[in-house]
Amino acid sequence: MTDPLLTTSSTSTSLCRVRGFTIDLLFALKEGPRRTFELCEETGKREQYVSRYLCNMRNYGLIMKNDAFWNLTLLGSDFISYLERVSKYSIVVRKIQERKKKEERKLNESSQPKKLKQVSIQAFLRTSTLDDIEKRVVEELVDHFNKTGSKFLYFNDYYKAAEFFKAAPDQMAEAMRHLKQDKIAYPWRDRSLNAWKIGLYKDFIEKLKFHGE
């Protein structure tokens, strides 16, 4: 097979100038057809910058455009094969492979469940004047927050909430009234879910984080 760089003198002269970002785009298109905005996202370059390179590459005969998608031509595919055979471009290939591995690593890390920042309530309880039911409510909410990252517990009705916190309904109502006054926790009727939710105030969570540091 004839080396693509030697097919014509004009082609040879043009392809001798192919380097840098053009090669990045060629290897991106080696993975399959891409639209301009996809190449911008993959390379982190602006559309005007990428479009200028794509037009030059089409003039060289390396790529062609089908509707909105850019594709390698036969010359473009052969040229990539040539680059991979030439030792002076091995660094370029290695950098591209390293970049792909780095992107895959970031993708894998982003798919892993994030470690939730734990908050401690012990220091708060030692100095608080909460009664047993109020402490139980706060402890359960903080434990739920540490496990799930959510500051709310949901219940079908208020009686279920009282049962969960081992309190009579009137005791539960009194406990929530005090906790709401102290800006610690509050109940809320979520009509969209037809359920009650009891949650911690955001400022109270931040206070626990601060004292836990």
Same fold, 4-111 and 122-212: yes
Q: Which CATH architecture has domain 122-212?
A: Orthogonal Bundle (1.10)
User: What does the alpha-carbon distance between residue 83 and residue 190 come to, in Å, rounded to a whole number?
Assistant: 62
CATH number listed for the domain at residues 4-111: 1.10.10.10
- Residue (of 23, 33, 42, 9) closest to 82 by Cα position: 23
Supply the pLDDT for residue 1. 42
Is 153 in contact with 198 (CB distance < 8 Å)? yes
C-alpha–C-alpha distance, residues 176 and 179, integer Å: 5
In the prediction, which pLDDT does 7 show? 43
pLDDT at residue number 73? 93
The predicted structure's pLDDT at residue 109 = 67
In which residue are the tokens 């909105």 written? 68
**pLDDT for residue 11:** 47
Give the pLDDT of residue 158.
79
Give me 212's structure tokens. Answer: 């836990």
pLDDT along the chain (213 residues), means of 10: 41 61 89 92 91 92 93 90 70 73 74 64 86 93 89 88 91 93 91 86 86 54
Per-position b or e across 76-99, b if 16+ CB within 10 A of its CB: bbbbbeebeeeeeeeebeeebeee
Domain ranges of the chain: 4-111, 122-212
